[in-house]
Amino acid sequence: MITIPQTNLTVHPLCLGGNVFGWSATEAQSFDILNAYSMHGGNFVDTADVYSEWKDGNEGGESEKIIGNWMKKHGNRDSMIVATKVAKYSKRPGLSAKNIVAACNDSLRRLQTDHIDLYYAHEDDATTPLGETLEAFTKLIQDGKVRYIAASQYSAKRLDEALQISKENGFASYVALQDQYNLMERKGIEGEVANVVSARGISVIPFFGLARGFLSGKYKPGVTVESVRAAGVVSYQNEKGWRTIEALEEIARHYACAPSAIALAWLRAQPTVSVPIASARTVEQLGEIVQVVEMSPEHVAQLTEITA
């Protein structure tokens, strides 16, 4: 288990992404995935109010509802760490104080709980002063509706500014940054963002840990993959991408695990990362990503060099 820096949240080394619940996984399939994750000792689930508004026929909040129904069915809310987000849902856009409070109450109802363990600003909102947003989050924590807050998709400059405002005003402070980070997408985190995260003593909780499924190894030259995310991995299907897959498969054989597990192990080996997020559409996929591997420094360096 891992304790997220600046918190007392002790979580499984894999945060299960809930973006597929109500999108590419039905409620029944989602329950199966959540059951399997729980059986492996998993206790950390990530969702958002906007999941999955984009699917035809959905209205948003489907993922939260499914997670809430699952926790109610099993009576296991107290053993789960639940993260959700505010700002991107078309019915609750932005990070104004009024919207944050309303969105939080909506999420609590859908999740059928009285508190959110980790509440994210899903994206930066340049139209709302950072101080207003942070003060609203602070009030939610004081009211017992939220335990900790975090940022998602903030630039290094804006993240540092938000952390400084919290420090100067006694507001609750972001304990983590969620953003895209994986072997195929490194520039967004490594560099300025990593410097801010390290200096402030917080951590990165990366999403798209498997590069939209590309790093699972199911994509091969000339092979067509039926997936709602297939279009999103076209840019990885090149010489560098195939070299990365070959290396993942080679190292996976050494540790007798899936390539997905190695890709996530590389993330955990990064000094800024506390716990990566990955999602599964089936129980079989869950079985691959939930394997926790501690790679040798040599294997970590090999993957770092290939994807530099």
Q: pLDDT tens digits for 139-174?
A: 999 999 999 999 999 999 999 999 999 999 999 999
Write down the pLDDT at residue 233: 85
> Could you give the percent of the chain with pLDDT greater than 90?
94
- Smallest CA-to-CA distance from 294 within 259, 268, 260 is with 268
Omega prior to 52 cis, within 30 of 0 = yes
Write down the pLDDT at residue 229: 63
Does this model's pTM top 0.75? yes
Write down the pLDDT at residue 158: 98
Tally of CA atoms within 13 A in the half-sphere of 86 that contains its CB: 27
Q: Cβ–Cβ contacts within 10 Å for residue 41, how many?
A: 12
The answer to whether residue 223 scores a pLDDT higher than 80 is no
Kindly state the average pLDDT of the residues 212-226.
82
The answer to whether residue 228 scores a pLDDT higher than 80 is no
Report the amino acid identity of residue 267. L
- Smallest CA-to-CA distance from 128 within 100, 149, 104, 169 is with 100
What's the DSSP call for residue 114?
Answer: S
- Tell me the C-alpha distance between 299 and 305, whole Å: 10
What's the farthest any 2 CA atoms get from each other in the chain? 56
Kindly state the average pLDDT of the residues 50-78.
97
The answer to whether residue 226 scores a pLDDT higher than 80 is no
Per DSSP, the residues of 43-102 read: -EEE--TTTTTTSTT--S-HHHHHHHHHHHHHT-GGG-EEEEEEB--TTSBS--HHHHHH
Domains and CATH numbers, the chain: 2-211+267-293 (3.20.20.100)
- Tell me the C-alpha distance between 184 and 241, whole Å: 7
- Tell me the C-alpha distance between 24 and 121, whole Å: 24
Token look-up 């009576």 returns: 75
The answer to whether residue 44 scores a pLDDT higher than 70 is yes
Per DSSP, the residues of 138-199 read: HHHHHTTSEEEEEEES--HHHHHHHHHHHHHHT---EEEEE-B-BTTB-TTTTTHHHHHHHH
The side-by-side arrangement of strands in the sheet containing 277-278 is: 203-204, 174-178, 146-152, 116-121, 81-86, 44-46, 15-17, 277-278
Kindly state the average pLDDT of the residues 184-202.
97
State pLDDT tens for residues 112-147: 999 999 999 999 999 999 999 999 999 999 999 999
- Tell me the C-alpha distance between 253 and 251, whole Å: 5
What is the token pair recorded at 79? 């053993």
State pLDDT tens for residues 76-110: 999 999 999 999 999 999 999 999 999 999 999 99
> Could you give the percent of the chain with pLDDT greater than 70?
97
- Smallest CA-to-CA distance from 85 within 111, 104, 110 is with 104
Sign of CA dihedral 60, 63, 68, 69: positive
